[in-house]
Structures are given as C-alpha cells and as structure tokens.
Amino acid sequence: MDQLRHMKGQVLAVRGAVVDVAFDEALPQVNAALVIEWDRAERLVVEVQAHLDEKTVRGVALQATGGLRRGVGAATTGKPIEVPVGDAILGRLLDVTGAVRDNGPALPADMACLPIHRSAPALAERSAATSVFETGIKVIDLLAPLVQGGKAAMFGGAGVGKTVVVMELIHAMVKSYQGISVFAGIGERSREGHELYAEMRRTGVIDRSVLVYGQMNEPPGARWRVGLTALTIAEYFRDEKHQNVLLLMDNVFRFVQAGSEVSGLLGRLPSRVGYQPTLATEVADLHERIASVAGASITAIEAVYVPADDFTDPAVTAISAHLDSMIVLSRVMAAEGMYPAIDPLQSSSILLDPTIVGLEHYQLAESVRETIARYKDLQDIISLLGIEELRVEDRLIVTRARRLQRFLTQPFTVTEAFTGIPGRSVALADTLKGCRAILDGACDDLAESSLYMVGTVEEARAKQKASPTAAVQA
C-alpha cells in the first residue's frame, strides 16, 4: 500500500474515531483506505465513509486516534483496505488490517493481498449446500444439523455457553475435516482471545487456523470491519486453494453493535430501537459472501448475543434471516446444568428434511421434540399436583423425556480442565441409536443420572453398573 500512494490530503478535524480529511485533488471513493502520516510507529488507517463536500471526506479510524492533531498529512491509494492472504498466515494472529499481533516474525514482504470489500459470488456460480456437517455434538447433529457450505448461528444471552460451544466446534471439526479454520473475534474480551489462542496451540490445531481479532478495547471501526477481514482470508482459501473453510465468528452481535456506534459517530439518524438505518444491508453484505463455489465451501458458525434474552431484537432478526441452522441456547437449561444448554424445541435447521437426512433421522428427531414438548406442557400440572396425578401414558412420556434431556447433555473437551470429565465426540449413528432406545423404553431401567454427561447408551449402562447407587445432580 505504501508504494502506491498518489493522493495527498491533510487532517481537518478529529472527533474520537471520526476523522475529516481535506484533499486538493479529486476525492477518494467511499470505502477507500487512508493512511495517516503521523509521528507514531503504529500505522493509523482510516476508511472513507462519506463525502462532506467537494474537498472533504469523513472516515472512521480503525486504530486509536489519541495524539492525532489537525494538519497531519494523509495519503490514499484509492483502494479499500487490503489484507495479506496465503499459507504464510496459517497459525498466525492478525488484526483488522492484516498486521501480525502474536509477537511472531513478520510476514513475507511479497505476500499477495486482497481487498476486504468484495462482491458476493454470482448465483450461477454457487453450489447447492446439502451435505451434513457432522459435529459430534449429539443435540446439534440430531435436531439442528449443520450444512456444509451453509450458515449456522448460536443464539443466547450472556453466560449461557455460546463461546464454549464455538470452541468445542473448533476442536472437533478442524481435527475431523482437515480443512482450514478462520476465527474472527469480534468484540472479544482480551481474556477470551488469549484463552482461545492458547487452547488452539495446546491442541495442535493452530497450524491449520488463522485468528483475526478486533477486540472489545479497540475502536468501533476495527470491530466493524474485522469480520470482513476474516471472510476475505476464508475466500482466498476457498477460491484459490480450493479448500473447505470453517469460518467461526464470535460475536456477530458485536459487529452490529460496532456498526451502530459508527453510524452514530457519523451523525446518521438511528432507526428502530436505536440501531443504524443500514443494519439490514450490513448484515447482508457479510452473509451473502459465505457460499460454496466450484466444489469448495465456506461453512460459517456464528455466536450471536441476544440482548436481554429478547429474540425479537432487530439485530437478532436481521441475522437469523440469513441462516440455514439456528441453535438456540436456553438460560433455563443452563441453570438446570443441562450442558450444552441447547433448546431442542427452538433450535432448527433447513437440513432436517427426510429427503436430506433420511426418513429415520427425521422421524426420530420429530419424536424427540414431540416427547420433550409434551413434558414441557405437563410441567405446570406436575408442579401443582405431583407426577402421581398424571395418567400412566403421560407418566411414561415424562420419564422418557427426562432421560432424553439428560442423554442429550455431553461433556466437552474444552471444559475437561474445569469438570474433570473427559470430552466426548459422538457419531450420529450412536446418537440416533441412543434416542431410539430411550423412546422405545429400552432404557427405562436406567437411572436418569446414568444418562447425564455420557456419550452413548453403552457408556450410561457401564456408568450405572460401576456405581449403581450414585446420585448425580442433574
């Protein structure tokens, strides 16, 4: 970028992350990158967002502007921000502009670079996404199967386990699929980012992964654009290397939140519930680039914070409109210790269709949902009158639904250090076999606690045999 500068300007005004720059010549285009020529070692990049008049542009800084003064020079290539791509970035931690942030060696100077603003693949170029992306997590594979080349998201409020599920998916999938993993930390806490980086190094998956962070303590511009940086890197491996890519984003709500901050800083009138008027466009621009092309796919798995557990929030509804699979985490289940706290009734997937997953899987998933839904309906009666007042058929449904709920819990590898329970990855066939056995009554002799935090029904039987009187709180 430094070698291609040809348009000069100077800083006219600084208001936090918003910088006005005046040019004597023609103005750079919207989304073009400006490099501020100040006296700091840290490069300051500003992205043009608006033309104020014939001589002045307004942009958003992607780094902190502390110490920036009026009159400082600015230069632009007239191109968007470009980030390095290629095998050399595997195993590295980058920021929104592609700079290395892991205290490792610098990237090669001759690396190819791509702009973060790119068009989505044409509809005619896209491949149909109908392959199941098996995760090894029972409740997801059974009730909300993921699509290879599709978009899935985990919705939940604070503290219900979104990040833990994302980390488990990283651990399970990178090893199983031998693909490339690109992680976008959008508004991540520094502690979470450090823990994820250390975990990926410890488990040996870092060499096939790229981490891109725009952390919570960074300006809104960085959090706003870091998702596009990660997506650009994923597109390179899909289009140029023809490799399947797993794109994980935590947390997409912070992307929307950063866009709202930027919109306010630019003086735009807020829209519904105070969100930016461009909310739908920004979410669409991010998601429409996630697709399968020429036999290689980008599979996106996102964590989405739900403010105040309100699923009607405009940000949540805007994101959910683009998804193939919705995994909803329940605060009630988390409080009961049912981990992963995935709600079997609200979670859904377009792949749960008999023509795709098969008739047996579809019918079994529907039976599991029906049984648990009936148990939910009966809970008020049980609370008031006791289970003894139910009909024999309803009592049977309740006992089997409770066993299903506990069977769908699962110990995770990433939480082994805290729980002391080795993680389990369960094949879909074993999940189907276990649920069928519970629904058919073959597990009525098992204690509920024996089915809690195990992988398969065989493990549950071994657990009960080893400690028949054990009382595990579930």
* Predicted pLDDT at 114: 97
At 3 the pLDDT is 40
Q: How far apart are CA 250 and CA 302, in angstroms?
A: 6
Which is catalytic among the residues 58, 151, 162, 223?
162
Which residues lie across from 83 on neighbouring strands? Answer: 114
Angle, helices 457-466/428-439, rounded to nearest 10 degrees: 70
Q: Residues near 323 by Cβ (< 8 Å), separated by ≥ 6?
A: 151, 152, 153
Which pLDDT score, from 0 to 100, does residue 6 have?
62
Dist. CA 382–CA 391, nearest whole Å: 11
For tokens 């090669």, the residue is 108
Sign of CA dihedral 306, 308, 311, 317: negative
CA distance 435 to 432: 5
Position 112, amino acid: A
Q: Name the one residue in this structure whose structure tokens are 């020079």.
A: 73
What is the spatial distance between Cα 230 and Cα 207, in angstroms, rounded to a whole number?
16
Out of 47, 82, 188, 235, the active site residue is 188
Q: Which two tokens stand for residue 101?
A: 């942030």
Going by the DSSP 8-state scheme, the letter that residue 26 receives in this structure is P
Q: Is 188 a catalytic residue?
A: yes
Q: Profile the chain (474 residues) by mean pLDDT over runs of 10 residues.
A: 63 95 91 93 93 95 94 91 95 94 91 95 83 90 91 91 85 71 90 83 82 93 96 95 91 95 94 94 95 88 92 95 94 93 95 93 97 94 87 93 96 86 93 97 93 95 80 41
Q: For residue 343, which amino acid is it?
A: D
8 Å CB contact between 133 and 176? no
Q: Is 231 left (phi over 0), alpha (psi -120 to 50) or beta?
A: alpha
R_g (Cα) of the chain, nearest Å: 25
Helix (H) or strand (E) holding 49: strand 44-51
366 given a catalytic annotation = no
Reported as type and span, the H/E element at residue 257 is: helix 252-265
CA atoms of 333 and 329, how far apart (whole Å): 8
**Minimal CA–CA distance to 347: which of 332, 365, 367?**
365
DSSP 3-state assignment of 132? Answer: strand
Of 201, 219, 217, 5, the closest CA to residue 97 belongs to 219
Pairing verdict, β 82-85 and 18-23:
unpaired
Closest Cα to residue 97, out of 33, 189, 16?
33
- What are the Cα distances from residue 419, in Å, to 107, 164, 342, 409? 39, 13, 19, 14
**255-280 burial code (b ≥16 CB/10 A, e <16):** bbbbbbbbbebeeeeeeeeebbebbe
What would you measure as the largest C-alpha separation in the chain, in angstroms?
85
* Whole-angstrom distance, CA of residue 370 vs CA of residue 306: 26
Sign of torsion, CA 86 91 96 100? negative
Listed in sequence order, the residues at least 6 apart from 459 whose beta carbon sits closer than 8 Å to its beta carbon are 424
Both tokens of 110, joined, read 């001759």
Residue 189: active-site member: yes
Task: Kindly name the residue from 15, 69, 189, 272 that is annotated as catalytic.
Answer: 189
Q: What DSSP string runs through 393-446? A: HHHHHHHHHHHHHHHT----GGGHHHH--------HHHHHHHHHHHHTTTTTTS
What is the distance of C-alpha 463 from the center of its chain? 34
Distances, alpha carbon 177 to alpha carbons 246, 289, 404, in Å: 9, 22, 29
Q: H or E segment at 314? A: helix 314-320
- Find tokens 């909300």 and name the residue: 144
Helices 252-265 and 279-287: angle between axes, nearest 10 degrees = 140
